[in-house]
A and B are shown apart, each in its own frame.
Chain A
Amino acid sequence: MIAYLLRRLLFTVPVLIGISLITFVLIYFLPADPARMYAGPNASVEAVNRIRTQLGLDQPFYVQYGRYLERAVQGDLGYSYQLQMPVTQAILSRFPYTLQLTLAGIFVELLIGVPAGLLAASRRSTWLDGTSMVASLIGVSSPPFWLGLLMLYFFAFRLGLFPLGGAGSWQHLILPAVTAGLGGAGWYARMTRSSALEVLSADYVRTARSKGLAGGQVLRRHVLRNAINPIVTMVGMDIPWFIGGVVLIETVFAWPGIGRMMVDAILTDDVPLILGTVTFTAVLVVVSSIIIDIVQAMLDPRIRLR
Chain B
Amino acid sequence: MHPSRRPVTLRAIVLSILVSVVLAACGGGGASELGPADQGTSPPQATQPEPGGNPPSAGGDIPRGGTLTIAYKDDLATLDPAVGYDWTNWPAEKMVFDGLLDYDDTTNLQPRLAESMPEVSLDATVYTFRLRQGVTFHNGREVTADDVAYSITRVLDPQTKSPGSGFYTGIAGAQDFIDGKADSVSGIRVVDPRTIEFTLESPDVTFGNKMALNFAFIVPKEEVERLGENFGHNPVGTGPFLFREWIAGRQLTFERNPNYFFEGLPYLDQVVIQVGVEPEVALLRLERGEIDSMGDPIPAAEFARIKDDDAWQGRLTSAPQVSTIYITMNTQMKPFDNVQVRRAMNMAIDKERIIRLLGGRGTVANQILPPLMPGYDQDYQGYEYNPDQARQLLADAGYPNGFSTTMECIAVEPQPKLCESFQQDLSKIGVQVQVQTLAASTVIADGGTEGKVPLVWSGGLGWIQDYPDPDDFYTPILSCVAAVPGGWNWPWYCNQDLEQKAQQAIGTTDTEQRLGLYREIYRTLMDEAVWIPVYNGQYDIAHSDKLVGKETDFAHPEHTIRYERLAKQP
Contacts and interface: CB of A to CB of B under 8 A. Distances in A.
B444 A157 contact: no
Contact of B276 (A149, A245, A256): A256
Contact of A38 (B80, B161, B276, B484): B161
Contacts of B164: 43, 47
Contacts of A82: 77
Interface string B264-298: 00000000001011101100110110100000000
Interface in A223-253: 244-245, 247-248, 251-253
B178 A39 contact: no
Contacts of A29: 10
A145 B23 contact: yes
A33 B441 CA distance: 7
B229 A47 contact: no
Given A90-B248, A263-B21, 20 more contacts: A30-B442, A31-B446, A33-B441, A41-B444, A41-B488, A43-B85, A43-B166, A44-B167, A47-B163, A51-B163, A153-B284, A164-B281, A166-B250, A166-B277, A245-B20, A252-B281, A260-B249, A263-B20, A264-B1, A268-B2
Contacts of A256: 248-250, 276
B17 A263 contact: yes
A22 interface: yes
Given A29-B10, A247-B20, A264 B75 contact: yes
Contacts of A33: 441, 444-445, 448, 486
B520 to A, nearest CB: 24
Given A245-B20, A248-B23, A40 B11 contact: no
A271 to B, nearest CB: 12
Interface string B432-450: 0000000111101110100
B461 interface: yes
A102 to B, nearest CB: 16
A54 B161 contact: yes
A114 to B, nearest CB: 27
B413 interface: no
Nearest first, the 7 A-B pairs at minimum CB distance are A44-B166, A256-B249, A32-B441, A43-B163, A39-B163, A40-B85, A84-B78
Interface string A47-90: 11111011100000000000000000000000100111110001
A143 interface: yes
Contacts of A23: 14
A247 B482 contact: no
Nearest to B155: A47
B545 interface: no
Contact of B486 (A36, A42, A267): A36
A156 B20 contact: no
A275 to B, nearest CB: 11
B163 A42 contact: yes
A160 interface: yes
A295 interface: no
A167 interface: yes
Contacts of A260: 249, 276
A113 to B, nearest CB: 22
Nearest to B26: A145
B486 A48 contact: yes
B120 interface: no
A38 B11 contact: no
